[in-house]
Amino acid sequence: MTTTPSTPRGGRAIGVARLIGGAAVIGILFLTFVRGGAVNGFNPFYYFGFFTNLTSLLTAVVLILTGTRGVLARATPGWLVDARAVATACMLLVAVIYNGLVPGTGSAPPWVSITLHVVLPALLALDWLLIGDRGPMRWSRLWILAPYPVLWLVVVLVRGVTDGWVPYGFLLPDRGAGAIALTGLGLLAVLGVAGALVWWASRLPGVVRTATDPL
**Confidence tier at 206 by pLDDT (50, 70, 90):** confident
pLDDT surpassing 80 at residue 208: no
Please count the residues of the chain.
Answer: 215
DSSP bridge pairs for 208: 131
CA–CA distance, 211 with 215 (Å, rounded to integer): 9
What is the separation, in whole angstroms, between the first and last Cα of the chain? 25
What mean pLDDT value characterizes the chain? 86
CA–CA distance, 209 with 130 (Å, rounded to integer): 9
**Confidence tier at 174 by pLDDT (50, 70, 90):** confident
Cα angle, residue 122 at apex, residues 139 and 3 outer, rounded to 5° = 35
The packing angle between helices 120-130 and 11-35, to 10°, is 160
